[in-house]
Structure 1
Amino acid sequence: MGGEPEQRAYRTESITVTFEARRCLHAAECVQGLPEVFDTAKRPWIRPGNATPERLAEVVRRCPSGALQYELVDGGTATPTGPPRSPEVPPGS
């Protein structure tokens, strides 16, 4: 098959961000929300160390397709502003 892996992970000591290209709708919520982290002109295009884990999680939750996900290193996925958005789990479930 070849090509890019289905899912890529970008890690810091505090947070891991995963990206699944085939799910991406190119809504650019990530690029607009944190251009210092999400820069499609650079490789790697996701640089999670350029923002706080809290701010990064906040922007990842805006991803309308769920192509971006995150996990805090301590095992949690919730932040003070709420749980991450996941298309597999409908709201209120």
Structure 2
Amino acid sequence: MDVREYSNGEVTILWKQQLCIHSGICVKTLPKVYNPKERPWIKPENASSKELIDQVAKCPSGALSIKE
């Protein structure tokens, strides 16, 4: 499975494209972090670590997770 990592230096977001159901919760919750029209589409430096952790916990498909 293809897993991409995006880090702000404190927290690393893992994204598994195959699991993504495109619910849009990430984009609606943190639009400064998640922008599917840009590359890279995840910019974790645009939010606090707490905001990232709270948002990733709301991902319904499990495509987004936090690297432990």
TM band (smaller chain): over 0.9
> Aligned-pair distance for 1:12?
1.8
TM-score normalised by L of structure 1: 0.70
| 1:25 and 2:37 are equivalent in the alignment | no
2:4 equivalent to 1:8? yes
Q: Give the total of aligned pairs.
A: 68
More strand by share: 2
Give, in angstroms, the shift of residue 70 of structure 1: 1.0
* SS in structure 2 at match of 1:17: strand
RMSD of aligned alpha carbons: 1.2
Q: Which amino acid aligns with 2:42?
A: I
* Greater Cα radius of gyration, structure 1 or 2: 1
Equivalent residue of 1:19, what SS? strand
Query: Is 1:54 the counterpart of 2:43 in the alignment?
Result: no
| Pick aligned residue for 1:40 from 36, 40, 46 | 36
Q: Which blocks of at least 5 consecutive residues in structure 1 are unaligned?
A: 76-93
How far apart, CA to CA, are the structure 2 residues paired with 1:36 and 1:9? 17
Matched to 1:56, the amino acid is: L
Q: Which runs of 5+ in 2 are unaligned?
A: none
Q: What secondary structure is seen at the aligned counterpart in 2 of 1:64?
A: coil
The answer on 1:70 being equivalent to 2:66 is yes
TM-score, with length taken from structure 2: 0.94
4+ residue stretches of structure 1 with deviation over 4 A?
A: none
